[in-house]
């Protein structure tokens, strides 16, 4: 049993700790060998001090230099793939393939490369020049970014490897990563590689730092410290809202990804066209990764009828017979059980009462619940509790109007889907429901489950509260996700040689898109 060190100010050092913890293997419920420190405020303070110094130094780095770090790190991640996959598998029970090694790791390294390209290109900074008024502005680094990663994507959303990390660094900021307590070893391996890549590419020593855990008060103090620029958080609603209150009170931007049940509407005529295929598609999407996706379809809205009954039965059979996956942790198992009990207490019927939790380690039976639209509308809040894991709630509405009313009653979600017939027979219902659902979700899909989240410049992995804390930003997609970690800086009558390079007359790269006098261009300003 080794007590692991924290990464602060460019070195692995003994933590100033208050206590220690160990991670568990969710498949065996056994503690893993390493011991990890819970940092005191002294660790946080030291990290903030180093990050503030790094933030100053990073302001004079070019996009090319930052890109070279991100690319070197991406290379090192790929080279360390076997260690990462082994450790993450042990800590999360997520399958090595298909998932950790062949899906999530390539996504992670590719995301870092896309972030590198955005840093090199510089267009993300939205340089805007008014030559007549002598006013020029751009987005610029906001300062040290604290990243809190979730339990469910140890690589692609990891605090020192994932989307928030890539975006914060590409925008020119140092990162203080708070490891997720369920996979500290995975986070440590990433931190090792990040440090070596940073040293090899001449980055300031505080560009990447990592601690494992803090007390709650120190977490709040960290996000609201004067030296902190912004925060990225993905995780539980309760912890997220506590950090949000602390950051909001001092005007620190905090970007949250909290909970989302991702409503899916399946209209009658598409059930007629391909109900069996949809049952297969839905069950597959819902049970994939033991349902532990931010965009897992946790709420399905259907209109009552024979075909709906057939669909419901088909899905229930699939749920009951599908293998049961392992959950990420004891806490996920417990919360899932509690939330499913609460949904049933509120009036939902369990359609899979005989299903067994025949998985390895922490697990819960695949669970399909059902409630009527009228019952849902009597207590919409109760039926929107997120049951994170291999479960979903079917809502059987009386008619299209009721689906519309349910859509109006929804909280904010990351995604919303509508399946409709290719014949056009569902189009009237679509036109009634889509505008309501649209206002409740960040991404509206047609005829497709929401579980895939492409790293596209047009992606929105965001949405109205409480899916996130602000509906104007996305956590996935480059360069859009970078703007979260930036402040708007305007230069008024500033002498030309004192302007940042991206606001000077000559285009800094020959390729940077800039808005000059009302037109987007990659050109120079002709004098």
Among 3, 31, 97, 249, binds a copy of itself (CB under 8 A): 249
CB of 174 or CB of 442, closer to a copy of itself: 442
Residue among 12 and 513 whose Cβ is closer to a copy of itself: 513
Which listed residue (12, 21, 41, 513) binds a copy of itself by CB under 8 A? 513
Of 210, 194, 189, which Cα lies nearest the Cα of 84?
Answer: 189
The DSSP code for 323 is P
Give, in degrees to the nearest 5, the angle at Cα 422 between 435 and 477: 55
Catalytic residue, candidates 146, 294, 400, 417: 294
The reply to whether 151 sits near a copy of itself by the rule CB under 8 A is no
Handedness of CA 399, 404, 410, 413 (dihedral sign): positive
- Least separation, in Å, of the C-beta of 130 and a copy of itself? 4
Choosing from 395, 430, 437, 451, the residue that interacts with a copy of itself (CB under 8 A) is 430
The interface mask with a copy of itself, positions 35-74, x = CB under 8 A, is: ---------------------x--x---------------
Q: How far is the CB of 230 from a copy of itself (least distance, A)?
A: 9
How far apart, in whole angstroms, are the C-alpha atoms of residue 127 and residue 504?
10
Binding of a copy of itself by 448 (CB under 8 A): yes
C-alpha angle with apex 234: 126 to 337, nearest 5 degrees?
A: 155
Binding of a copy of itself at residue 143 (CB under 8 A)?
Answer: yes
Which residue in the set 5, 80, 470, 504 belongs to the binding site for a copy of itself (CB under 8 A)? 470
Q: Which is nearer to a copy of itself, 82 or 520 (CB)?
A: 520
For the record, the structure tokens of 435 come out as: 């505008």
Tell me the per-residue interface mask from 218 to 247 with a copy of itself, x by CB under 8 A, - otherwise. --------------------------xx--
Query: Which residue in this structure is represented by tokens 């991702």?
Result: 262
Nearer to a copy of itself (CB atom), residue 310 or residue 409:
409
Closer to a copy of itself by CB, 185 or 469: give it.
Answer: 469
Q: How many Cβ atoms from other residues are within 10 Å of residue 299's Cβ?
A: 26
Closest distance of CB 14 from a copy of itself, Å: 31
Q: Which is nearer to a copy of itself, 370 or 404 (CB)?
A: 404
- State the minimum distance, in angstroms, from the CB of residue 499 to a copy of itself: 10
Count of chain residues binding a copy of itself (CB under 8 A): 71
Instruction: Extract the runs of DSSP E, i.e. beta strands, from 310-440.
Output: 349-350, 367-372, 391-397, 413-419
To a copy of itself, the closest distance from the beta carbon of 82 in angstroms equals 30
Where do runs of H (alpha helix) occur along 127-205?
Answer: 163-170, 184-200
Nearer to a copy of itself, 190 or 430 (CB): 430
Note whether 434 binds a copy of itself by CB under 8 A. Answer: yes
* 447 counts as binding a copy of itself under rule CB under 8 A: yes
Is the separation of the CB atoms in 161 and 155 below 8 Å? yes
The interface mask with a copy of itself, positions 253-272, x = CB under 8 A, is x-------------------
112-141: contacts with a copy of itself (CB under 8 A)? 128-130, 133, 135-137, 139
Which is catalytic among the residues 257, 333, 386, 411? Answer: 257
Which region among 184-192, 277-285, 349-357, 434-442 touches a copy of itself (by CB under 8 A)?
434-442
Residues 375, 366: Cα–Cα separation, whole Å: 23
The runs of H, that is alpha helices, within 201-325 are: 216-224, 237-249, 268-287, 306-321
Question: Applying CB under 8 A, does 518 fall inside the site for a copy of itself?
Answer: yes
Query: Left if phi > 0, otherwise alpha if psi is -120 to 50, otherwise beta: which for 400?
Result: alpha
- 14 SS3 class: coil
- In degrees, rounded to 5, the angle at the alpha carbon of residue 171 between the alpha carbons of residues 481 and 148 is 65
Output the six-digit token pair for 517.
């006098």
Can 294 be counted among the known catalytic residues? yes
Sequence-distant (≥ 6) Cβ neighbours of residue 325 within 8 angstroms? 93, 287, 289, 290, 291, 359, 363, 390
Determine contact, residues 185/34, Cβ cutoff 8 Å: yes
CA distance 82 to 73: 16
| Minimum gap (Å) between residue 475 Cβ and a copy of itself | 11
Question: What is the contact mask toward a copy of itself in residues 361 to 400, using x (rule: CB under 8 A)?
Answer: ----------------------------------------
Closest approach of a copy of itself to the CB of residue 101, in Å: 24
Convert residues 317-356 into a mask of x (bound to a copy of itself by CB under 8 A) and - (unbound).
----------------------------------------
Return the H-helix or E-strand segment holding 47: helix 41-58
Strand order through the sheet with 254-257: 11-13, 6-8, 208-211, 175-178, 145-148, 230-234, 254-257
Min separation Cβ 465 and a copy of itself, Å: 2
What residues have CB less than 8 Å from 147, skipping those under 6 apart?
Answer: 159, 160, 162, 164, 165, 168, 175, 176, 177, 178, 231, 232, 233
Q: How far is the CB of 514 from a copy of itself (least distance, A)?
A: 10
Alpha-carbon torsion, ordered 47, 50, 55, 59, to 10 deg:
-160
* CA dihedral of residues 327, 328, 334, 338 (deg, nearest 10): -70
Active site (annotated) includes residue 363: no
Give catalytic residues, as residue numbers. Answer: 257, 294
């Amino acid at each position: 049993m080794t007590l692991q060190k924290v990464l602060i100010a460019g070195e692995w050092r003994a933590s100033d700790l208050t206590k220690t913890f160990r991670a568990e293997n969710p498949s065996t419920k056994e503690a893993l060998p390493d011991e990890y420190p819970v940092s005191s405020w002294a660790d946080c303070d030291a990290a903030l001090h180093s990050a503030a110094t790094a933030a100053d130094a990073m302001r004079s780095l070019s996009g090319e230099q930052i890109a070279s770090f991100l690319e070197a790190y991406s290379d090192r991640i790929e080279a360390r793939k076997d260690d990462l996959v082994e450790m993450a598998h042990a800590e999360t029970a997520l399958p090595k393939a298909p998932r950790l090694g062949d899906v999530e790791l390539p996504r992670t390294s590719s995301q870092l490369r896309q972030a590198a390209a955005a840093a090199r290109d510089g267009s993300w900074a939205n340089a805007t020049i008014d030559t007549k008024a002598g006013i020029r502005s751009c987005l610029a680094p906001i300062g040290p970014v604290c990243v809190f990663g979730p339990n469910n994507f140890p690589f692609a959303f990891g605090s020192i490897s994932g989307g928030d990390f890539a975006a914060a660094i590409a925008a020119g900021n140092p990162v203080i990563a708070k490891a997720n307590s369920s996979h500290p070893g995975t986070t440590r391996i990433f931190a090792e590689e990040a440090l070596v890549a940073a040293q090899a590419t001449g980055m300031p020593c505080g560009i990447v730092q990592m601690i494992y855990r803090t007390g709650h008060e120190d977490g709040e103090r960290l996000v609201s410290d004067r030296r902190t620029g912004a925060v990225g958080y993905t995780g539980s609603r309760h912890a997220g809202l506590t950090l949000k209150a602390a950051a909001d009170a001092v005007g620190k931007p905090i970007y949250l990804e909290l909970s989302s049940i991702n409503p899916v509407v399946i209209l009658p005529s598409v059930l007629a066209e391909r109900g069996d295929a949809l049952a297969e598609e839905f069950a597959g999407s819902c049970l994939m990764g033991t349902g532990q996706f931010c965009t897992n379809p946790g709420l399905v809205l259907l209109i009552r009828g024979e075909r709906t009954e057939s669909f419901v039965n088909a899905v229930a059979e699939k749920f009951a017979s599908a293998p049961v996956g392992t959950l990420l942790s004891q806490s996920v198992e417990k919360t899932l059980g509690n939330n499913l009990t609460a949904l049933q207490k509120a009036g939902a019927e369990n359609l899979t009462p005989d299903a067994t939790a025949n998985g390895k380690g922490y697990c819960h039976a695949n669970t399909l619940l059902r409630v009527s639209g009228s019952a849902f509308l009597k207590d919409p809040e109760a039926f929107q509790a997120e049951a994170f894991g291999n479960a979903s709630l079917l809502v059987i509405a009386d008619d299209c109007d009721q689906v519309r009313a349910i859509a109006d009653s929804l909280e904010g979600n990351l995604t919303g889907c509508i399946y409709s017939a290719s014949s056009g027979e569902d189009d009237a219902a679509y036109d009634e429901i889509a505008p309501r659902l649209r206002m409740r979700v960040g991404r509206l899909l047609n005829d497709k489950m929401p579980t895939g989240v492409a790293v596209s410049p047009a992606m929105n992995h965001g949405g109205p509260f409480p899916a996130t804390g602000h509906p104007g930003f996305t956590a996935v997609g480059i360069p859009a996700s970078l703007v979260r970690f930036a402040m708007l800086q305007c230069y008024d009558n500033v002498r030309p040689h004192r302007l940042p390079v991206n606001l000077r007359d000559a285009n800094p790269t020959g390729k940077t898109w800039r808005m000059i006098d009302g037109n987007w261009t990659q050109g120079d300003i002709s004098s």
